[in-house]
Amino acid sequence: MLGQTAGQMLGLPVGLSGGQYWSLMPLLLLLARLHQGTGLERIRYVPQLASPSLAGTLTQSTFTLEQPKGQFSRLNISDLDAIWLVVAHSNATQSFTAPQRVEDIPAPADFTRRGYYLTLMAHRALYPGNQTGNQLRVLRVGNDTSCSLGKRGCNAPLPGPGPYRVKFLVMSDRGPVAETEWSSETHLQQAEALQAAPGPQSAGTVVIIAILSVLLAVLLTALLAVLIYTCYDTCGSTPISGPEQPVCMRRYDTHHVTSPPATGGS
């Protein structure tokens, strides 16, 4: 009976005997698994960016999403099912294939090759529809700068300006269960290089630059003169100092000049 039911579900002929059905059971189970993998429940929800008034909604390597509150209260989704966020390049959404096993979940290290990866794993208990209080609940994509790119679920900074698209994927221990719609394209901020003003400099600008250059030269000259004078005044004179003050004096040698001997008075 089980074999006939699976055969009818997959469109196989119904005239086969029971023994023939049981001999085809491994193939039937494989086809049923493939059929289940392509029959994901579609949740009519589009992930949204957080309010633009929130500081840091878009940066050069992150963007912030609203939490999908109350979107996973389906009968075929259990509290133990994992809810993943799929991050993809905008041109890779058509080639996305939901992984059938946890071991097949791509990490950020696979982003360049596959064009997508899964991150921010949660459960539906974290996304209740009746959240109370004034606490802001958001999801910041690319916010973990310390995790390894090869680690499954790593929320590493995004590698470029995008554009990116995201969706939520629900997976049980048997494979994918449900998914939301893809979001619209998200473009990150880009660093702007400082550029000189185009065109020739005005006459006023040239005059100001010349005056500042002359003043700088005069200032440097005056500073050098003060240093020279201070050094000469310190080491080239014999000031009268107290016992505790050192005196810097020059020594003069009168080469071959001797004083006449003193003569006593008669």
Structural domain includes residue 240: no
Distance CA 44, CA 62 (A): 25
Q: What are phi and psi of 140, to 5 degrees?
A: -100, 110
Reported pTM = 0.58
Identify which has the larger pLDDT, 264 or 149: 149
CA 80 from centre of chain: 30
Distance CA 184, CA 164 (A): 8
Structural domain includes residue 200: no
Interval 49-93: pLDDT, tens: 988 888 888 999 999 999 998 888 877 888 899 999 999 999 999
Weakest-pLDDT range from 122-126, 140-144, 259-263: 259-263
Structural domain includes residue 166: yes
Q: What is the 3-state secondary structure (H, E, C) of 117-150?
A: EEEEEECHHHCCCCCCCCCCCEEEECCCCCCCCC
Q: What are phi and psi of 226, to 5 degrees?
A: -65, -40
Write down the pLDDT at residue 76: 83
Which contacts (CB < 8 Å, 24+ apart) does range 153-158 have?
153/84, 153/105, 153/107, 153/118, 153/119, 153/120, 153/121, 154/107, 154/108, 154/119, 155/119, 155/120, 156/108, 157/61, 157/62, 158/61, 158/62, 158/63, 158/87, 158/188
Identify which has the larger pLDDT, 16 or 40: 40
Range among 73-77, 122-126, 228-232, 233-237 with highest mean pLDDT value: 122-126
Write down the pLDDT at residue 179: 93
Maximum Cα–Cα distance for the chain, whole Å?
164
Structural domain includes residue 191: no
Structural domain includes residue 256: no
- The residue range of the domain holding 91 is 37-180
Distance CA 53, CA 68 (A): 19
Domain count of the fold of the chain: 1
* Mean pLDDT, rounded, of the chain: 77
The pLDDT of residue 30 is above 50: no
Structural domain includes residue 258: no
Reported as half-sphere exposure (CB side, CA atoms, 13 A), residue 101 has a value of 2
Identify which has the larger pLDDT, 239 or 43: 43
Structural domain includes residue 211: no
Name the pLDDT band for 2 (thresholds 50, 70, 90).
very low
Write down the pLDDT at residue 235: 57
Fill in the amino acid letter for 32: A
Structural domain includes residue 59: yes
C-alpha angle with apex 83: 77 to 87, nearest 5 degrees? 140
